[in-house]
Chain A
Amino acid sequence: MTDPIRKPGRKNPQIRTVQPTLPPAFRSRKALGFTVAAAEGRFCLQRCDDCGKLTYPAREACPACLSMNLHWQDVDPAGQLIAETTIRTSTNSYFRERMPWRSGTVMLDAGVSVLAHIHGDVAPQGRVRMIARTDKSGKGVMMALPEEDVENMADDKQLRELTCDPKHRRVLITDGRTEVGQALAKAMSGAGAGIVFVGLAEQWRGFAGQAALEAIANVEIVPLDVTNTTSVQECAGEIGGKVDILINTAQHTRPGGIMGRRDVVTSRDEMEVNYFGLMRLMQGFGPGMRARGADGVNSACAWVNLLSVYALSNKPDFGSTSASQAAALSLAQCFRAEMAGSGVKVVNAYHGPLEDEWHQPLPPPKVSPNRLAREVRGALQQGLEDIAIGEVALDVRMRWKEDAGVLEKELTQIEGM
């Protein structure tokens, strides 16, 4: 059984913050396919289209038939530990700081043996289930977990390097005025977060759910208006040094495309929140989080962007909002690059239409705030970087992966023709 991690004490300001070190970051282009799947929490190996052979590590051709048609495919993650070691000396600084380190050889039931990180609760020669996650370098790695859950399992030192568990961490939810923001505050508090900061613009203006929000354990309301640079800078100056997880819930969604609007006023509001608001947050909170990626139990670990899945491909009846979401997605990609090497994961959570006033005319299925909060919490606990929430988001993302061009044609074709 893993020893539970303790709530960290107050930080001594005299002690220098540990500079983040990284596990090896270089991968071949083919191996990046594993990283893409790992970011979604999928355990994939390459399979040969022609002879069916599973193969690992990443190859350019099938070692059984020399076919060039290898594709990453979900495989059964069950297996058995057949050899293990506890590494006590390493040539890499990241691992050296974290010695000893358990790794081993797992024979997968699927018929391939792989090298993996090994959870402390896996018994010698024990049965395991594999997970794929991104590590502090943002690259996909495998880890063998015990077949059945054990107590305090998430607190395993090596597993916690791969996850962004809110337990004992301090979370900022940027807008508490929405149902989504309130549901997330509740979910983070329930997941053991040390503090849940909740941003509110124009605090004097009351809103539905205010009393319930303020009653949630560990919630602290902070003034924050993402459309105001000074407000964001002041908030970052106040609490930026202790935000370990930031979840941006500030969104501005309105129906409508281009020619139905007479001017750019509404579109500018959308951009002001969805794009410039995000950028202000990144400028205000990004540098502090980037510097604290290796700061102990409550290190900075995750930045969560809630993005409409129509950031991937425009939905004309919400065409202008889709455009602002696409801008936000592009900015998130840039942010990922700038945060790379910090150990902080930039999580993109794509969702379909929410159950809110602005999506009221749309038919179901829609995503409830509670479901969204639950899935974001799960993604943090599991250490995922790319998730799709709800049936619509899953469907659109799948079609986008299959063929982005076809998806565009589908979404933009005239109804009933």
Chain B
Amino acid sequence: MADWDIKRQGYDGVVAAVPISIPYQRFTPDPAHWWLARALGDLVRGAGLRPSDIDGFTVSSFTLFPDTAVGLTQHLGLTPRWLDHIPMGGASGVVALRRAARAVQAGDASIVACVAGDASHVDSFRTMLSSFSRFAQDASYPYGSGGPNASFALLTDHYMRKYGATRADFGKIAVAQRANARRYPSALMQRELSLQQYLDARPISDPIHLFDCVMPCAGAEAFLVMRADIAADLGLKTVNILSTIERHNAYPNDPIQDRGGWAMDKDELWDMAGIVPEQVDFLQTYDDYPVISMMQFEDLGFCAKGEGPAFVRERDLEITGSFPHNTSGGQLSVGQAGAAGGFLGLVEALRQLTGTADGTQVKDASYGVVSGFGMINYDRGVCSGAAVLAANVTGDTG
């Protein structure tokens, strides 16, 4: 058999730009179309483009039904030559980035708008859960209908027993993110959170308590992936993509999830990026629950498996700390706007690396890592992805 391992190509000549976040709302009557349109409009205006300049388009949304990306082209007046619908929840941001980057690099598109957004009506969360996936309908929803809280409670229970993590360890992650969120005006949760308040919160699905859970809400996030030369012509601040990974249904025979797909691909992530974890200035993990952030510290190679609790204890996770993590407050404090939650960390990373993060800016941020995690199809998150990004300090094209 021929050697199937081909060295991955870099993302030369491609950049990410124009991070857009539409401030979240707990409930609104507006449908997903409204949120996606609003984000796309801000993207186009923010880049100084006309809508017709957008020749590539990716959409991620749970509440767009009965439409998909296809319906949105007509709805929003786009005529793209490259179109993708990315239904990967928390992994959508990284996946959109890497697909769009290859399309641009190959010449299939020049400017790709990557957009994610979801509505939040009073009953939309329940109806979404009850029809999330066939496996969930057949084999998880009938067992208490606890939704993601119950699924992640099981992973958390198992992780705590196996690796000795305590609630206080998870609390430290949540408390630091709340401190960060207080510097990000769009975060829905701005009230100060102490570790004691975290520990005293009411149980939701033991060992998950109130401040381990994200608040479902409406919102949208977006960014552009484009040719570096066009970005330069437009005078945009840009970010270089050093490396990306994506993996689905990793380790299917693990009885219960205590590692994600990142663990399969982390060597490639760092090799391709050409940097080591110690050089990273900030990390944006997918934080639907703190245990998942801790798993990402391990599986992305910031520490070894099982060392997540010690890693957290030894570091300051705030913006000004030794290991800035989820600098805008993450979903735990900003809110989870459906699929936009999968873009939250990436869009914040783009602000950090273009020096436009205002109150949450990490000083001299040069390298950032974003990771995504999505879709509890049955008992575990199936999709994972990560990207290493670099500030384009010299204005060169990476």
B205 in contact with A57 (CB, 8 Å): no
> Is B274 part of the binding interface, using a Cβ–Cβ cutoff of 8 Å?
no
Check: A314 CB closer than 8 A to any chain B CB. Answer: no
Is A141 an interface position by the 8 A CB rule?
Answer: yes
Kindly provide the distance from the CB of B61 to the nearest chain A CB, expressed in whole angstroms.
20
Looking at A90, A91, A116, the one whose CB has the most chain B CB atoms below 10 A away is A91
* Interface residue A221 (Cβ < 8 Å from any Cβ of B): no
Q: Which residues of chain A are near B126, meaning CB under 8 Å? A: 91
At the interface, yes or no: B140 with Cβ under 8 Å from chain A?
A: yes
Q: When the two chains form their complex, are residues A105 and B142 in contact, meaning their CB atoms are under 8 A apart?
A: no
B138 touches A58 (CB 8 A): yes
List the one stretch of B155-163, B325-333, B385-393 in contact with chain A.
Answer: B155-163
Segment among A79-87, A290-298, A304-312 that sits at the interface with chain B: A79-87
Closest to A142 in B: B143
Interface membership of B255, Cβ < 8 A: yes
Q: List CB contacts (< 8 Å) of B151-197 with chain A.
A: 153-155, 157-158, 161
Minimum C-beta distance from A76 to chain B (A)? 16
CB pair B203–A88 under 8 Å, yes or no, is yes
Interface window among B6-14, B81-89, B128-136:
B128-136
Select from chain A the residue with minimum beta-carbon distance to B252.
A63
Contacts of A30 in B (CB 8 A): 138
Report Cα–Cα, A113/B205, bound state, in Å.
20
Q: Is the CB of A90 within 8 A of B134?
A: no
B129 A105 Cβ-Cβ under 8 A: no
Contact A117 B143 (CB under 8 A): yes
- Size of the chain B interface, CB-CB below 8 angstroms: 37
The one of B130, B141, B206 in contact with A85, judged by C-beta atoms closer than 8 angstroms, is: B206
Report the nearest A residue to B135, measured CB to CB. A57
Question: B58-79 vs A: 1/0 string, CB under 8 Å?
Answer: 0000000000000000000000
CA distance A342 to B30 in the complex (A): 37
Asked if B144 and A27 sit within 8 Å, CB to CB, the answer is: no
B139 within 8 A of A: yes
Knowing A24-B130, A85-B153, the reply to whether A31 touches B139 (Cβ < 8 A) is yes
Known A27-B137, A31-B139, A86-B203; judge A107-B130 contact (CB<8 A). Answer: no
Would A84 and B204 be within 8 Å (CB), given that A24-B145, A101-B144, A103-B143 are in contact? no
A139 to B139, CA, bound (A): 11
B-contacting residues, A133-155, CB 8 Å: 135, 137, 139, 141
The answer to whether A104 and B154 touch (CB under 8 A), given A125-B161, A135-B142, is yes
The answer to whether B205 and A23 touch across the interface, beta carbons within 8 angstroms, is: no
The answer to whether B154 and A24 have CB atoms under 8 Å apart is: no
Cβ of A115 within 8 Å of any chain B Cβ, yes or no, is yes
Q: Is the CB of B208 within 8 A of A85?
A: yes
Q: How far is the CA of A84 from the CA of B206 in the complex (A)?
A: 8
Determine if A95 is an interface residue (Cβ-Cβ < 8 Å). yes
Shortest CB–CB separation between residue B203 and chain A, in angstroms?
A: 6
Q: Which of A24, A82, A84 has the most CB of B within 10 A?
A: A24
Q: Do A91 and B256 touch across chains, with their CB atoms under 8 A apart?
A: no
Contacts of B155 in A (CB 8 A): 83
Q: Is A92 among interface residues, defined by CB-CB distance under 8 A?
A: yes
On whether the beta carbons of B129 and A91 are closer than 8 Å, the reply is yes
Flag if B138 contacts A89 (CB, 8 Å). Answer: no
Which of chain B's residues have a CB closer than 8 A to the CB of A89?
A: 146, 149, 204-205
Chain B, residue nearest A84 (CB): B157
Cβ proximity bits A95-107 to B, threshold 8 Å, 1 near / 0 not: 1000001011101
B323: CB under 8 A from chain A? no
Q: Counting CB contacts under 8 A, is B287 at the interface?
A: no
Contact A85 B146 (CB under 8 A): yes
Name the residue in B126, B143, B205 with the highest tally of chain A Cβ atoms < 10 Å from its Cβ. B143
CA A104 to CA B206, docked complex, whole Å: 11
Chain B residue, CB-CB nearest to A85: B153
A57 and B137 CA atoms in complex are apart in Å by 10
Q: Which residues of B have CB within 8 Å of A135?
A: 142
Given A85-B153, A87-B205, 4 further pairs, Cβ under 8 A: A30-B138, A57-B135, A115-B139, A135-B142
Give 8 closest A-B pairs by Cβ, nearest first. Answer: A92-B145, A85-B153, A57-B139, A87-B146, A83-B158, A113-B255, A31-B138, A83-B154
A interface residue numbers (CB < 8 A to B): 23-24, 26-28, 30-31, 56-58, 63, 82-92, 94-95, 101, 103-105, 107, 113-117, 125, 135, 137, 139, 141
**Interchain Cβ contacts under 8 Å between A and B, 28 examples:** A28-B134, A28-B137, A30-B138, A57-B134, A57-B135, A57-B139, A83-B161, A84-B154, A84-B157, A87-B153, A88-B205, A89-B146, A89-B204, A89-B205, A90-B146, A92-B130, A95-B145, A101-B146, A103-B143, A104-B154, A107-B256, A113-B379, A115-B154, A115-B378, A137-B142, A139-B142, A141-B142, A141-B143
